[in-house]
Amino acid sequence: MIALIGPTASGKSDLAIDFALKYGYEILSLDSLSIYKEIDIASAKPSQNELQKVKHYGVNEIFPNEKFDVMKFIEIYQKIKDKKIIIVGGTSFYLKAMLTGISQMPKISEEIKKEALKYNWEFLNKIDKEYASKIKPQDSYRVSKAIEIYLSTNTIPSLYFKQNPPKPIIENCDIYEIAVDRTVLRERIKLRTAKMFEMGLIDEVAYLESKYRNRTLPALKAIGIKEVLDYFNGVYNRDTLKEKIITNTARLAKRQQTFNKTQFENKISLPLEKLREKLLQK
């Protein structure tokens, strides 16, 4: 098993498909947007033709109004871990979580999930200052999860996680990173953004808004979607819209590069063409 990481628009998908076709691998995509059905253009997910050429997991798994977290990718991985898999990580956080491990979570009933929604960060801070200090007050998802643990086990989260240390999900995985200069990457982002508009990005977002009628969905807050929704509101004209998407995507890519640099020590990092030569042995 190998993993291929790199910032958005760095060329991961094309290289992964070429590798999979040459060596008989299948692809596990760790991407926070490609996992959604109906979000095809904004996610820059592989085309239908590419999806038919190589079996992909983690793509088109759920609808935009369904929630997911790293546990969804772990669930998918557990079903395919005996296959020849190349993991393609746009959202490298998920790969890191699977390598370092996840603590075993208690069973949480629907009643407790509803009960937890009655409490906020201030309550969590009152019962467990140590754990609350690691969470932003506006991070309602993590706050609710922490309170669910407390209500289910009568144990504060910080103590619960000490008693249930994380266990790695993936133990043996060679990691390859596409190293790319930020100036070059920005040009690649410009080209990809232009292609997204040509493919019908605005129509796709209009469809999503019309169908789900809920702009607070995490999927509709993604880069490329949120800017188009602002465009609908008259915040941007079309030219400004395109530049805004490019700028926000470049900022995301910078954060991804920083994360990959600091979180993965034992990796091989090469420019795209050199990495292609190495992996495909040309």
Q: Is the model's pLDDT at 89 over the cut of 90? A: no
pLDDT the model gives residue 62: 97
pLDDT the model gives residue 102: 86
- Pair (79, 137) in one structural domain: no
Give 5-14 pLDDT, tens digit per residue.
Answer: 999 999 999 9
CA proximity to 201, closest of 237, 239, 227, 234: 227
pLDDT the model gives residue 76: 95
Total number of domains constituting the chain: 2
Q: What is the DSSP letter of 167?
A: B
Q: Provide the mean pLDDT of the chain.
A: 94
- Pair (159, 186) in one structural domain: no
pLDDT the model gives residue 181: 94
- Pair (274, 209) in one structural domain: yes
- Pair (40, 138) in one structural domain: no
Q: Which residues pair with 36 in a beta bridge?
A: 62
Q: What is the pTM of this model?
A: 0.85
- Pair (82, 8) in one structural domain: yes
Q: Give the residue numbers spanning the domain of 25.
A: 2-100+169-280
Sequence-distant (6+) residues with CB within 8 A of 173 are 1, 2, 3, 87, 99
pLDDT the model gives residue 104: 85
How far is Cα 125 from Cα 137, in angstroms, rounded to an integer? 9
Please report, for residues 10, 62, 213, 236, the alpha-carbon distance to residue 206 in angstroms, rounded to integers and kept in the order given.
28, 19, 10, 16
Give 157-206 pLDDT, tens digit per residue.
Answer: 999 999 999 999 998 899 999 999 999 999 999 999 999 999 999 999 99
Q: Is residue 105 part of a domain?
A: no
- Pair (30, 152) in one structural domain: no
- Pair (10, 143) in one structural domain: no
- Pair (155, 194) in one structural domain: no
**pLDDT confidence tier of residue 67, bands split at 50, 70 and 90:** confident
